[in-house]
A and B are shown apart, each in its own frame.
Chain A
């Protein structure tokens, strides 16, 4: 298998990973039940992070990255051996991180979508349909909610950021070498970053995700969650105000309701 075919399969896999949820959404619009389960979405997240990581590794120097991540001193003799090794080690590491943060990415996308739909609900003249759309019962409830997967996803992200910052701030080459047991010195920054992606990054994600729930319980028991809620309210994270109508919207509703009543009366 040549490098050219490997790159082709990588591109196809990336497109497939990103196309899967979009395709599912399109089919769902035709009233066919294709809602993906949480595990299926995490699988998509795995592919969505692992495939670009593999593509980037192939672009900047797969053999050197493999030696950096695993500490190996053997140069693979063929592209297939390199692909299998790289997919198993670096792809597996990126897959785990991608699966862990998938609920959070979906939550962010859902939040953005809701903001967009609320903006689109701005009333247009001579359009009676928005009256129902902006009714308080329709906009008061949000489908966004937090669960354990999301907490673990935030923990994964915090662990990744924390351990990556600590690594980059001190001795990244040495730390990657220590973690992998290797002696390879990366020749440029992208190779170093991908080496970190295969060693310290999944480690930070694993420990951060596992420690997040006990830490959350501890903070609640100690009453420290009020501080977090206060910070979250500053940025409007997971903070839902009761639905309120602006004066212009209220006047528009009032005018349209009276118009409808007149039509019904006539």
Chain B
């Protein structure tokens, strides 16, 4: 469990690091297309959702999300089950919401 938790915790800094290194590489142009920004939004939100699920109770979360009664027997089935339910849903939300978030950030001067 710890290794998966650390992996998820690493995913968010990686997404942020991608943004930072890109801006540093070419300050006049971030070089990130909308699809890339949407991908970063997917990674950030799915990592956050997985981290929240692991914090709140992963077995119960996957059972609630999928509507099942099956208790995962190990860490890998649990994580793949969470990926196929919670992570995918939050990835879709992150992908769809990123352009709007970027527009809002631009409007308020961030």
Contact = CB atoms under 8 A, between A and B. Distances in A.
A210 B40 CA distance: 8
Interface in A164-205: 166-167, 170-171, 174-175, 177-183, 199-200, 202-204
Contacts, number: 117
B7 interface: no
Interface string A138-154: 00000000001000100
A222 B21 contact: yes
A199 to B, nearest CB: 5
B81 interface: yes
A149 B62 CA distance: 31
B33 interface: yes
A19 B92 CA distance: 32
Interface in B38-92: 38-40, 42-43, 46, 62-63, 65-70, 72-74, 76-78, 80-81, 83-85, 87-88, 91-92
A51 interface: no
B46 A207 contact: yes
Interface residues of B, number: 43
A219 to B, nearest CB: 9
A180 B88 CA distance: 13
B88 to A, nearest CB: 4
A211 interface: yes
B14 interface: yes
A181 B67 contact: yes
A246 B25 CA distance: 43
Given A213-B39, A221-B25, A207 B83 contact: yes
A214 interface: yes
Contacts of B94: 210
Given A214-B43, A221-B18, A167 B80 contact: yes
Nearest to B69: A183
Contacts of B25: 221
Given A178-B81, A218-B18, A183 B31 contact: no
B22 A179 contact: no
Given A170-B74, A175-B77, A207-B46, A212 B39 contact: yes
Nearest to B38: A210
A207 B62 contact: no
A115 B17 CA distance: 40
Contacts of B95: 210
Contacts of A200: 80, 83-84
Residue among B22, B25, B66 with max Cβ neighbours from chain A (10 Å): B66
A208 to B, nearest CB: 10
B36 A217 contact: yes
A218 B20 CA distance: 10
Contacts of A183: 68-70
A71 interface: yes
A206 interface: yes
A216 B22 CA distance: 11
A163 interface: yes
